[in-house]
Amino acid sequence: MTRRQWLLSTAGCAGLAGGYSTVVEPRWLEVVRTGVRVEGGQRGTVRLLQLTDLHASWAVPWSLIDNAVTLGLAARPDIICLTGDFVTHRGDLDGGRYAGILRRLSAAAPAFAVLGNHDGGSWAAARRGYADHRVVERILEDGGIALLHNRWVEVPVRDSAVTLVGVGDLWSEELEADRAFRGVSGAGPRVLLSHNPDSKTALEGFAWDLMLCGHTHGGQVMIPFQGARYAPVEDRRYVSGLNAFDGRWIYTSRGVGNLGSVRFRCRPEVTVIELS
Ligand SMILES: [Fe+2]
């Protein structure tokens, strides 16, 4: 091979990899199905749909969020859980369009959400985000999604129930575990919604069976032989997937959206969990 041929082939490979990681993979959704067994009074199986880190922004087209909803609803979930980072930065956001997409979820099953670090508050305000949650809260409300901001709810499912506990975001310094779990007495397994898996330390003294998280985007760019390029967590054991913690489970989804319109070896994820 001549030097010219080598340069051309190298440039071609780089171009293909760049195109794949910025155009193809960020929109190539994968439905990930996971089974989780927990102790509890509930009989049978409850199907949870988790969507997280939608990150509506220039980097995430509405069609991707809409497709994630379509794929998730095809699993016929009993309960829908949204675990934060609905937006990336403050700015012109078509809230009506967003709410319309979310209403497809709430029309199909009881749907609940917690907020992420990008959804407004002290962390977001310092990084081109909203100073408070009002914009995202309005979108959720219009979309029929119940916000579990440091509170719990019991969700009936057929002849059984699941207790959902939702907490505020760790980085936004809004995680109030005592408040979220106060008076919790619901039947069935306890599923905790918390945006950031690092919050497990603040939550380990409370009774829950399964925690659903996002935040990491699964690493977003997985460099061969190196692993996650972007994973803003202290504990790298919980960057993605189902992992044990202190006799219970944490599921960290890779999420639907992204930052910067790039993913490599880390496809966006729609999560379906069979809780039995
Ligand atoms: Fe995120």
Mode of pairing for the β-strands spanning 160-166 and 151-157: antiparallel
107 burial type by CB count under 10 A (0-12 exposed, 13-18 middle, 19+ buried): exposed
> In which domain, by residue range, is 99 found?
3-275
Q: How far is the CA of 115 from the centre of ligand 1 (A)?
A: 10
Asked whether the beta carbons of 126 and 120 are under 8 A apart, the reply is: no
Beta bridge partners of 222: 228
Q: How many CB atoms neighbour CB 133 within 10 A?
A: 21
In a 13 Å sphere around the CA of 198, the CA atoms on its Cβ side amount to 15
pLDDT digits (tens, 9 = 90+) for 60-77: 999 999 999 999 999 999
Domain count, the chain: 1
Q: How far is the CA of 188 from the centre of ligand 1 (A)?
A: 30
CATH number at residue 119: 3.60.21.10
Q: How many CB atoms neighbour CB 46 within 10 A?
A: 25
Q: What is the pTM of this model?
A: 0.94
Q: How far is the CA of 87 from the centre of ligand 1 (A)?
A: 8
Q: How far is the CA of 159 from the centre of ligand 1 (A)?
A: 35
Q: How far is the CA of 47 from the centre of ligand 1 (A)?
A: 24
CA nearest neighbour of 207 among 231, 184, 233: 184
Beta bridge partners of 190: 163
> How does pLDDT run along the chain (276 residues), one tens digit per residue?
676 666 666 666 767 778 899 999 999 999 999 999 987 655 789 999 999 999 999 999 999 999 999 999 999 999 999 999 999 999 878 999 999 999 999 999 999 999 999 999 999 999 999 999 999 999 999 999 999 999 999 999 998 899 999 999 999 999 999 999 999 987 779 999 999 999 999 999 999 999 999 999 999 999 888 888 778 999 999 999 999 999 999 999 999 999 999 999 999 999 999 999
Q: How far is the CA of 53 from the centre of ligand 1 (A)?
A: 5
